[in-house]
Each structure stands twice: as C-alpha cells, then as structure tokens.
Amino acid sequence: MRGLRLLAAVVLVLFGSVACGGGSDDKKSDDVTGMADVVADDDLAIGDDVVADDDVAVDDDTAVPDEDVVVPPEDVVEEDVPTCEPPTVDPNYVGVQKCLSCHAGMHPEIVAAWENSGHNFKLNKVVDGTPPVYPEFATKWYSEDDFELLPGLGVTWNDVIYVIGGYGWKARFVGTDGYIITGNEDNPGVQFNLDTQEYVGYHTGETKAYNCGACHTTGWVAAEADCPPNPDMPGFLGVYSENAITCEGCHGPGADHAAAGDKALIGKGSDSCGNCHIRGADMAVIPAKGGLTQHHEQYQEMLASPHKDLGCSACHDAHASSKYDDDAPGEGVRTACVTCHADVTVNDKHNGIATCVDCHMSATTKSATSHTIGEGDDAVLYGDIAGHLFRLNTEAGATLTSKDADGAETTNSAVPVLYACKKCHANKTVGEAIEGAELIHGE
C-alpha cells in the first residue's frame, strides 16, 4: 500500500508539472525539487523502472519544455472593437420624380430648363460601360471620332463609374473603386478640358477619394475614410439621394411639402447659392491660384462687390443654364444690367459693340483653361468664367490677386481696368486703358 501511495504521489506531481508548467526556469526548478522531496531515497523506491531519482529530476523525456506548455492568462481583457456605421440618406428626400409628378404640369418651362442645365449634370453615371448623354447644344467631347478615354492608362468606360462634370468646362473620372482617377507621371492626363479638347493633369499620382458630393449631388451625407458606405468602392465617401442638383438640392427635403402640398413646408431655394458657390469658410476672402480666382467662388465675389445686397436670383434663374444661355431652354441670365442702370450711358465708340458684361465681368476665374494676351506689364491673364466683382480699378500698378506673407493668394475686390480692354484691344497699354476708362461712359 505504501508503494502505491508513493506511486500516486509521483503521478500527481508529474501531472501538476505538465498542467501548470511553461513558466520561467525558476518555476520548473521548483517542480523538480518537489519531486525529489517525495522520492529522495532508495528505500522508498518501488523499482528503478517505475520511479528513479534520475528519471524524475533530469530525464529529458519526462520534463516538459517551456515552449510546449500554454498557460491561460489570469485575466482576459477584451479590447473595444470599433464599429463602422456608414451614413444613410435622409428619408425626407422624396426624389425629383415626386416633384415632377406635380410640377411638370404646373411649370413645364422650369422643368425643361433644369433638365438641360449644368445642375443636372454635376455627377453623371456610367452604366454598363455606356457614358452619360449630355444635351445636344453642349460642347461635344467623347462622341468625337478622335477622342480617347484616359490615354495610356488602359482605362475603358467599363472601368469608370461616374463622370464629374463634362457639361461645360471639364470632365474628371471616378473609377469603379470610388477614387478619382489621377494617373501617373508617365500618363498624367486625366482631366479633359472641353474648350481645348485636351487632357491635363489632376493631382498626378495621388490617391484622391471622392468626397465632393455636397455640391455635386442631392441629399449627400459624408462618410469617414475608414467607413465607406460600399466596401467595394472604398474611395467613394458618402451616400446621396440623387446624383445631380435636383429640386431638393436647393429647396430642401420635400417629404412634408409633398404630403401636404403646403408651400410653407418647402424652402424657396434662392438663398442656397452660397452653400456651393464658395470656397473655404471665410466669406470675406476670395481664394486665388496662379493669378486667377479659383472656380465656384461667385458668392464670395458678390459679397465683395457693389452688388453685395442683391441675391443671385436677382439676375439669374438657377433652373436654367448661363453657360449655354443662347441655346438652352430658359434664361440663365434673366435680368439685363439696364434694368437697374438705365441712366448709365456709353460713348459712341463702344455703344452697341461692347456690353456691360464685356468690361465689368471679364473672365477672371479659372475652371479649366486660361490664356494670356499681351506681354510684360501690359499682359493680362484670362480664365474661362466671368468674374462677379463688377468694380474696376483704374490705379496704375493694380493687380487682380495678392499674396500675404505666408504666400496665400487671394483675389482683390476690384479688377484692374486693363482686363476690361485687353481682349478687344490687344495692343493697349495700362496707361491707355486707364485714360480710356475715364471716357468710356462720357463723350
């Protein structure tokens, strides 16, 4: 019996070493010492083949290597796993078709104007490899025989999910992964300029997510970069109700209005222009780049102009196209200058030749292209969008833009008078422009 008890003790010790081992060398040494205390002399041994001091203490076949033993931790603390909650569209957006169900019959001319305006072509889907269709009067580009989509990049229309713009000035392309296509150093041409029918670079080689939907879509809700709404399109950081600036893009969500038919339950829309025709948060600053005002800053220009107390809708119909005003339905510019400035006269040399807009709204803003007329101090850099400052500066040495001590460039609140003259009088100097400006509204 005594031998059996000793055998049981040894087995327990060995089991304990297996179950609880795997710690430091000190722990292993203690376990072995304990076994030696139990079977320390030959008198207690049952047989060398059962328990021998050497077998217990030093036999490598009996000892359990540290690395083979797993010791469960005393306390397991689970870290907080971040949850991803992609944004969802506000259900109060009912969609343009709901609006048209009433307003197409009530205001067909407004509907026709909007359908052919730039607001309807801000973000255009490419469906099954078929590019979007633009109005007949708009500048043609991809339909031309010599057009090549993103040359050198091996991209087809099947690799593009959206065209940004493409209606009036330029087109950029969003790949099926949701990122804006930016090209590379060998093939940088990714922005197609409609005026020149040429590609230029845009953030070459950068990874550029699409996060522009607040002013390209209706009902846009932005997403965090690490939580895209569609995992298959990680670069498309937001959701929208509609991929255009529709009725609700300016008038606000229409669910309540559609249900009750009450005009008081929908926004007028005329105060919405300043939501998108701006750049940056400071309305007193007009950001510039390369000597010209950057695009979509008309609202900031207006606030710096003599017309700051007028709303945009005083002159424009937001439903219609100003870019193609002569050909598109509706009147993008619906109020002539003479409506308010009936007492202003122009001398005989310019009367009937130059309009108010020609001189007071020169192309001082760049969306896609620019060009220079003249040389040296008499050179003028023009953009491709009319400015909205209206005021002319007749001082010598006046410039369109200025830079601060940190190099930040902004547009000044008045346009040098040479901008008003140079596009018609290519050889005119600054001095001649200043002298002529004093006579333009006189004899």
Burial of 180 (0-12, 13-18, 19+ CB in 10 A): buried
Q: What is the mean pLDDT of residues 340-354?
A: 87
pLDDT in tens, 275-318: 999 999 999 999 999 999 999 999 999 999 999 999 999 999 99
Question: In this predicted structure, what is the pLDDT of residue 78?
Answer: 53
Question: In this predicted structure, what is the pLDDT of residue 116?
Answer: 98
Indicate if the alpha-carbon torsion angle 8, 9, 10, 13 is positive or negative: positive
Beta strand 160-165 with 170-175: parallel, antiparallel or unpaired? antiparallel
Share of the chain above pLDDT 90, in %: 75
Q: Given a cut of 80, is residue 207 above it in pLDDT?
A: yes
State whether residue 160 is helix, strand or coil.
strand
Q: What is the mean pLDDT of residues 33-39?
A: 39
Higher pLDDT, 84 or 108: 108
Answer yes or no: are the C-beta atoms of 162 and 180 closer than 8 Å.
no
Question: In this predicted structure, what is the pLDDT of residue 228?
Answer: 96
Answer yes or no: are the C-beta atoms of 380 and 419 closer than 8 Å.
yes
Q: What is the mean pLDDT of the chain?
A: 86
Question: In this predicted structure, what is the pLDDT of residue 12?
Answer: 39
Question: In this predicted structure, what is the pLDDT of residue 166?
Answer: 98
For residue 297 the two structure tokens come to 């800053």
Helix H or strand E segment including 14: helix 2-20
* pTM to 2 decimal places: 0.80
Q: What is the mean pLDDT of residues 338-345?
A: 93
Question: In this predicted structure, what is the pLDDT of residue 39?
Answer: 37
Q: 6-10, 12-16, 236-240: which has the highest mean pLDDT?
A: 236-240
Radius of gyration of the chain (CA): 38
Q: Which of 167-181, 334-348, 358-372, 408-422 has the lowest mean pLDDT?
A: 334-348
Q: What is the mean pLDDT of residues 63-68?
A: 48
> What separation in angstroms does the CA of 330 have from each of 114, 121, 122?
8, 16, 19
- Which conformational region is residue 165 in: left (phi greater than 0), alpha (psi within -120 to 50 degrees), or beta? left
Answer yes or no: are the C-beta atoms of 211 and 205 closer than 8 Å.
no
Q: Given a cut of 70, is residue 1 above it in pLDDT?
A: no
CA distance 133 to 125: 10
For residue 184 the two structure tokens come to 């590379």
Contacts of 258 (CB under 8 A, 6+ apart): 94, 98, 99
Q: Given a cut of 70, is residue 415 above it in pLDDT?
A: yes
Q: What one-character-per-residue DSSP string does 360-399 give?
A: HS---EESS--EEES-GGG-EEE-SB--S---EE-STT--
Contacts of 31 (CB under 8 A, 6+ apart): 13, 16, 17, 21
Q: pLDDT-based confidence at 36, cuts 50/70/90?
A: very low
Q: Given a cut of 60, is residue 38 above it in pLDDT?
A: no
Question: In this predicted structure, what is the pLDDT of residue 61?
Answer: 46
